[in-house]
Chains A and B, each alone.
Chain A
Amino acid sequence: MQMKRLLSVCVMGLVFAAGAQAAGFEPRAATPAPELKANDMNGSAKSLADYRGKVVLLNFWASWCPPCLREMPSMERLRLKMVGRPLAIVALDSAETADEVKAFLSRMKLGFPVLLDPEGSNTKRWKVFALPTSFLLDAEGRVRYVLTGPTEWDEGEALEVIESLLAETQLPAKRVEPRRLTPQ
């Protein structure tokens, strides 16, 4: 019985450790992005066309989701780090009311746009099943990487991937192959 309890605790520890950090960026074969159709906090309609020509970090989150809130400061630091470069950071709140989001934003100041998805229609179109889930789009609006779970956006692998997409914006157009980030 003691061994059973010990093993259980170890497994729980592994589960929590895995949950604390995302599994890693999953490369995608430059697939066209689903439609994004949402209003910002001022009620203005936004779509991906508004960010064409920029690398886009599209982050699905919710104010009740602790890992989402944990990574937000690093998204803000990334924004400050990337001032003047063609990167758009867009946080799309999943299936909450504007009041709920406003209450959160009164406590955490963010310089990037927050979009609303009160009915969850974008969440369903992008097939988001866990929060946070983030998509990195290239300047052509194609999905290049997907990340399920939180990360520190202004350092490490996240920054490396973003820089690789930004580097492409300075190159002549060519066929894009996804980078492999995991050993084969």
Chain B
Amino acid sequence: MPDYRDFPAQGERLLLWVTSERGRAEPELQAAQQLAERGIAVWSLDPVSAYFLPQLPSSLDAVPAQDLADWLRAAQAGGKRVVVYAVSRAAVPVLRAVALLQPVERQQLCVLLMYPNLYTVAEPLAEPDYLDVGSLSGLRVRVLQPRRSAATPWLPGLLDHLTQRDATVSQVILENLREGYWMRETPTEFEIAESRRMGDMLLRELDTWKCK
């Protein structure tokens, strides 16, 4: 699959990093490099660029799930423990791809979702509606949700939706941060600092989650 960057490492873990529609930002590349230096290999995929799609959230709905499923299988075939990390709407093709895997393949995966956007409808005064991504039985999902987001009050509903698809779900609130804090036009000092520490944050989540 084109448009990916490979950050090799000798450790036993492999992180598949799927960017949002905005593509890769420099802090994300630095974080991937930091993880590799700590022994976690990273394959960074920019799906919107790979499929020559407009840089819009809805473009990620058009990414072929079967292609991503093949990519996940290829990653698992390498023998490392595989964790997928998807940002924003990239959660849609990732979860659809995971749903295409065999249950035994799915059970060996963990998925980290950074402020996932799974809405089909989110209009004022109307109940939210979420995409049906298929069965996620046996999958472990952890949602990373920046506190400073309009989506934070709606997080319980999103977690319920994933649970109803038989995923085992947990959440972490990232305090004092906004969605996409590493690529904001006017970041706070804390956001700048946290952007530099993104690799550490992801490593901490991988270690404390104990998704092995």
Q: List residues of chain A with CB under 8 Å of any chain B CB.
A: 4, 7-8, 11-12, 15, 28, 31, 34, 62, 64-66, 94-95, 119-120, 123-124, 126-131, 133, 135, 143, 146, 148
CB closest residue in chain B, given A95 = B153
Q: Is B125 on the interface with A (CB-CB < 8 A)?
A: yes
Residues of chain B with a CB closer than 8 A to A28's CB: 125
Q: Identify the B interface with A (CB < 8 A).
A: 23, 49, 52, 54-56, 119, 122-128, 148, 150-154, 178, 185-186
Q: Which residues on B sit within 8 Å (CB–CB) of A62?
A: 148, 150
Given contacts A11-B54, A146-B125, are A131 and B150 in contact (CB under 8 A)? yes
Are A8 and B55 also in contact (CB < 8 A) when A126-B125, A128-B124, A129-B122 are? yes
Contacting B153 at CB < 8 Å: which of A12, A64, A123? A123
Q: A15-B55, A66-B186 are in contact. Are A120 and B153 (CB under 8 A)?
A: yes
CB contacts (< 8 Å) of A34 on chain B: these are 125
Give A18's nearest chain B residue, CB to CB: B56
B151 touches A15 (CB 8 A): no
A127, B126: Cβ atoms closer than 8 Å: yes
* Chain B residues near A12 (CB-CB < 8 A): 55
Please indicate the chain B residues that have their CB under 8 angstroms from the CB of A31 in the complex: 125
CB distance from B165 to the nearest CB of A (A): 21
Contacts of B186 in A (CB 8 A): 66
Q: Which of A4, A95, A135, A148 has the most C-beta atoms of chain B within 10 angstroms of its own C-beta? A: A95
User: Looking across the interface, which residue of chain B has its beta carbon closest to that of A10?
Assistant: B54
Q: A95 vs B148: C-alpha distance in the bound complex, in angstroms? A: 9
* Known contacts A4-B52, A66-B186; A128 and B128 CB within 8 A of each other: no
Q: How far is the CB of B54 from chain A (nearest CB, A)?
A: 4
Across the interface, name the chain B residue whose C-beta is closest to A96.
B148
Using CB atoms, name the residue of chain A closest to B176.
A64
10 more CB-based (< 8 A) A-B contacts, given A127-B126, A130-B150:
A7-B54, A66-B186, A119-B153, A120-B153, A123-B153, A127-B123, A127-B127, A129-B122, A129-B123, A133-B124
Least Cβ–Cβ distance between B32 and chain A, in angstroms: 21
Interface hub of A64, A65, A94 (most chain B Cβ within 10 A): A64
Complex Cα spacing A94 to B147, Å: 11
CA A130 to CA B127, docked complex, whole Å: 14
**Shortest beta-carbon distance from B198 to chain A in Å:** 19
